Amino acid sequence: MEVKQRPKNFTFYRRKTTNVVMLSVSFISAILTIMPLILVFYYTIAKGMTYLNINFFTKLPTPVDVPGGGMVNAIVGTLILIGIGGAIGIPIGIFAGTYLAEFGKNRFAYVVRFLSDVLSGVPSIVVGIVAWTLVVVPMHGFSALAGGIALAILMIPTITRTTEEMIKLVPDSYREAGLALGIPRWKTTLRIVLKTASKGIATGVLLGLARAAGETAPLLFTALGNRFWSTNIFQPIASLTVYIYEYAKSPFKSWNDQAWTAALVLIILISLLSLIFRFITRSKYKNQA
């Protein structure tokens, strides 16, 4: 059989060039991907600074062009909403995740795993509609509770799947050691396995909470929004994200600027959440050691 010989040098250089070109393309696209992040952060910080003062954290919103207004109700509202969401979503997520990891070698667990993955892909606005039909309609009114439930539904899949993955990372020898000491299985799971996985689970919880704090769509027709001070969970409640949406759409310059400030505060809030969680999980570990 005759093998056709191509000019070696040409092929060599062609391959070399393709190599360099394609690798540079890949590098450039990595930079292009980071660009929007830098741009969004730059504008949020640059434009958000205008109204970032003590009033923003202590005063209620004022009418257009009345200076000195803030968004204290929205900041507290967002915290209340993710509080309700967390109170409902975290236990469901952690226990369901524990089931999947510890007892999940059957067909039902497979289905639950699958459904929770599906649930994580459901558009948040659809979750808003479901919370509306389930809570707002029977209770005859928009409420913080409805918003919190919508956020809980959004958190559940994230927390469930992270918990499962994290528990699965705990080596079997830990469980065996617990059982060998005569500790019942449930105690082993709760006190040894879950504790070992707690850092990873906390990360999942944090991810869920952070995602919930940034949600707008499911709040539009559940928590609605409120221009006044309210901490009643059966009343409509303000949130930073809904304020950003409404102020951004408004034709008034001062409200537009406040939307940027609200965005900055929201980003700070989400980062703080992450810092606090990291701190908690770290100190826990120090105590143990």
Residue 61 sits at φ, ψ, to 5 deg, of -60, 145
Closest CA to 134 of 218, 38, 14: 218
Instruction: Indicate the residue among 43 and 234 with the shorter CB distance to other proteins.
Output: 43
3-state secondary structure 60-88: CCCCCCCCCCCCHHHHHHHHHHHHHHHHH
For other proteins, give the closer residue by CB, 271 or 283. 271
Dihedral angle of Cα 63, 68, 69, 71, to the nearest 10 degrees: 170
Instruction: Kindly state the tokens that stand for 80.
Output: 């209340």
Nearer to other proteins, 80 or 112 (CB): 112
Minimum distance of other proteins from residue 55's CB (angstroms): 21
Closer CB to other proteins, 80 or 194, in the complex? 194
Q: Which is nearer to other proteins, 195 or 211 (CB)?
A: 211
Least Å from the CB of residue 146 to other proteins? 13
How far is Cα 231 from Cα 243, in angstroms, rounded to an integer?
Answer: 17
Calculate the dihedral angle through the C-alpha atoms of 97, 102, 105, 109, rounding to the nearest 10 degrees. Answer: -20
Nearer to other proteins, 80 or 210 (CB): 210
Give the nearest distance from C-beta 91 to other proteins in angstroms: 7
Residue 142 Cβ, how far from other proteins at the closest point, in Å? 9
Q: In 3-state terms, what secondary structure has residue 197?
A: coil
Nearest to 71, CA basis, from 235, 213, 247: 247
Crossing angle of the two packed helices 72-102 and 107-120, in degrees rounded to 10: 160
Of the pair 107, 286, the CB lying nearest other proteins is at 107
CB of 53 to other proteins, least distance (A): 20
Tokens of 94: 């952690």
Q: How far is the CB of 121 from other proteins (least distance, A)?
A: 4
Environment class of 239 (CB within 10 Å of its CB; exposed 0-12, middle 13-18, buried 19+): buried
Instruction: Extract the tokens encoding 208.
Output: 């869920």
Question: Shortest distance, CB of residue 289 to other proteins, whole angstroms?
Answer: 25
- The nearest distance, CB 283 to other proteins, in angstroms, is 23
- Compute the C-alpha angle 201/216/82, nearest 5°: 40
CB 201 within 8 A of CB 101: no
> Is the Cβ of residue 58 or residue 117 nearer to other proteins in the bound state?
117
